[in-house]
Structures are given as structure tokens and as C-alpha cells.
Amino acid sequence: MPPKKQPTKPGPIKGPTRKKPTSKPKQPLSLPQKLERLFTSLCAQIDGGHLTNAVKTCDKILKLVPDDTDAIQTKLFLLLQTEKYDAALALIDANNATNDRSFEKAYSLYRLERETEAAELLNGIKSKDDADQRGALHLEAQLAYRQGDYQTACDLYNQLLDTAESQSDEQADILTNLQASQKHLDFTNVEFLRALDSLPPSLTSNLESAPPPSQPVPTSVLANLASSSAPQPGDDPAKTRKRVRMKRVPKGVVPGVTPPPDPERWLKKSQRSTHMQSKGRKKGGGATQGVVADHPPASAGASGGHSNQKGGGKKKKK
């Protein structure tokens, strides 16, 4: 007989399969959209005080638009704020043709202690009629104060104080710098001379006739001298000495100048060659722990097995 067909259970009716909509590829942003996003991030980073990240954002903008004046000016401002003056000078030299940034360059040179170049730029700025003279006057006064020309610094600060707004941050800074310059000027012109007049004549004559004091040689100079005395390639290797690593030298020690330590510093004072025996004490004091006597005492077996001491001591238990 043919096998009986088993009845199939009714299952859920499947509907027509639906295809998922394919996602369209994202279109790349246009250049204005990219710049808008980068400038938005740049403003947020500057407002939040993230200046290092803001410099990186400026680099991204300049990579897209190398001659963007706003990005160049913002990056220069950020470099000056983060005290990266070498990078600021490089940026000014690379983009100085599009805009005159003599004041920013003079300020960077002043902070790098290149006063002569900064003074030359300031003279060029002062000769221009359309330039902002106020910032140049501030920088010129600071430069005069650093060079010790306190009279010029006082005159410039007084000139700035006359035209400054009252109760402003600029006025407070000018008053602080003016007070410091005036104190140095008073000490040089009045207080120093009064202090000399108050000294006795004998001391004054000795000061006038004495030679100027010798300046101490810095440790770095001595280290350079020690390194310059290193053996040359053509020297005999047997006569050359190994170069001293400055990282292993203790603080305050200069190789070749500081005397070597005492080789007997690990010995007791009584055992050093520089120790002098006092007359009141006898030689050959008590031996310390671990010292062996020159003539050890005779053992008990050498006297025939009997002890010379009285009492005999305690007997051993059997």
C-alpha cells in the first residue's frame, strides 16, 4: 500500500518580500561648507581656551586656503599667546607680503631678547604716519626699561598715561610700569649717591682703587671646556681619557676642577693616615669586633689538661 501522507500544519501566510532601501552614498562637503565648520570649531576652541587645538584648526584651514588672511592673523595671535615666538617669526616671514606685520615681528624679537633688531623695526614703524603708534610706544618703553634707559621709559609711560582711558586695564599697567621705572631712576640718580656719601673715606678710596670683581664662570662654560679637551681622532688612544658623562656627575662638581674626594673617607678616623695620636692616651686600645689578636692565649690543653684558675668552674652533666 502506498504510504499515507501526513497532514501539514497550517503555517503563517508569508506576504511578498520587501527590499530594504539602499543607502545613498554621502556626498562630500563643498569647500565653503568645510570652511564654515572649521571656523565654527575655531571660535569654540578660542572661547574655551583650547589654544593648542585652535592652532591645529588654523593649519587645517590654511591647508584648504593657504592665503586666508583671517586664518593667518588668528594663527599669529595664537602663537603669540602661547609664547611660540620662533614659529610666529616664521609665519610672519612667510606671509609678510600680503600684510604688514612689523609690530608683531618687533614684539617677537623683543621677547626673544633680540633688542637691536626690535629697535630697528620700531624706528621704521614710528616713521610711518598711518601706523598705530600706541602699541609701538608701549613696546619702545619696555625695550628702554630692559636696556637700562629708565629716563626714556619714564617719559614714554608719562606720554601714554596722558592719553589713556581712566579706570582701564591699560592705565593700571602703565602706572605699574611707570612706578618700577621711577624707582630704578631714583636709585641711580639719588639713593646710590647718598649711600656712597655715607661710607667712610677710607672705604671709599679702597673701592675706587680696587679692581672690578671677577665674574664667576658658569658651570656650562666649564663643562664645555672639559668637553673641548676630549681626545681628537688622530690622538693616541693610550693617552686619551674616557669622556665624563655630565648626567653622572654630582651637583656642584666640575670634572677637572673640583678636587677628588678623600680616598680614606670610608676608614675610621683612627685608622686614617692623617690621624694624630694624642699624648695622654696609650697606644693599642681595645680591639673592635672581628679583630684577631697578634698573640692568642694558650689553650687549656697546652697546660697538661688542668686549668690554672681557681674554682674549676661548673661540671658538665652526664
Q: What is the pLDDT of residues 43-68, one digit of tens each?
A: 999 999 999 999 999 999 999 999 89
CA distances 254 to 80, 225, 244, Å, are 39, 10, 10
Other beta carbons within 10 Å of 306: 8
CATH of the domain at 152: 1.25.40
In-domain check, residue 47: yes
For 113, left (φ over 0), alpha (ψ -120 to 50), or beta?
A: left
pLDDT tens-digit map of 249-297:
777 778 777 888 888 888 888 888 887 765 555 555 444 444 444 444 4
The pTM score is 0.54
Q: How far apart are CA 167 and CA 207, in angstroms?
A: 48
DSSP calls for 163-205: HSPTTSHHHHHHHHHHHHHHHHHHIIIIIHHHHHHTS-HHHHH
Domain boundary, last residue among 201, 231, 248: 201
Q: 114 burial class (0-12, 13-18, 19+ CB within 10 angstroms)? A: middle
For 102, left (φ over 0), alpha (ψ -120 to 50), or beta?
A: alpha
Domain boundary, last residue among 201, 216, 233: 201
End-to-end CA distance of the chain: 113
Domain containing residue 72: 31-99
pLDDT greater than 90 at residue 37? yes
Are both 121 and 87 inside the same structural domain?
A: no
